[in-house]
Structure 1
Amino acid sequence: MEEVHISSLVVHAEPTHLEDVKAAILALPGSEIYGDDPHGKIVVVMTTENQGFITTTIDKISNLEHVLNVALVYHHIEKETETFDKPINDLSVEAKGDV
């Protein structure tokens, strides 16, 4: 069974180095920035294949120069449970019995 881990982080960086920190975060695989503010707060969303990669990435971000704090805000695991033979837009619903 394959898994996809979706996590969000709030990173607080020194405001004067916000762009440098954002560039370093974007260089990490699976990391996207969804917003930031001039006070140094950055919202990061990560999509990974396992939980270990999340903790490793949090450690890497925490150790970046000019990062003051990293907080994990959300973590969700999607498990692949079915395989479809058709693309989702080709699926049809058949009514059975009285509705």
Structure 2
Amino acid sequence: MAAEIHIAGVIVHARPAQTADIRAQLALLPHAIVHAVEDDGRMVVTLEAESAPRTLDAMDAIRALPGVLNVALVYQHAEPATAMDEEMP
């Protein structure tokens, strides 16, 4: 089976007082990027992984962080890893 890349967009909802700490923890998570943070504790995050189970593992790790209230998957895409090397028209 060919290697795959999975890209997921998630909304992380956290206690506003802990947003900075959670953002710092997310920076330690491999292939996690925080794109936006709102004052009410919502964060837009993308995750990259090699499989759907690894994506779910990353979401579970985020969910387990102190102060995280919810993690919601809003987008998921998978394709062969070789597609990342293809030139776009």
Q: Which has the higher helix share?
A: 2
1:69 CA drift (Å): 0.6
TM-score normalised by the chain length of structure 2? 0.87
Q: Which runs of 5+ in 2 are unaligned?
A: none
Q: How many residues align?
A: 86
**Number of the residue aligned with 1:30:** 31
Unaligned stretches of 5+ residues in structure 1: 90-99
Deviation at 1:59, TM superposition (A): 0.7
Give the corresponding residue for 1:2: 3
How high is the sequence identity, in percent, across the aligned residues? 34
Higher strand share: 2
Name the residue aligned to 1:45: 46
**Alignment correspondent of 1:76:** 77
Highest CA radius of gyration, 1 or 2?
1
The corresponding residue for 1:63 is 64
The 2-side partners of 1:43 and 1:3 are apart by 23
Residues 13-53 of structure 1, C-alpha deviation per residue, up to 9 Å, x if partnerless? 00011100111111111100011111100001011111111
Q: What is the TM-score with the length of structure 1 in the denominator?
A: 0.78
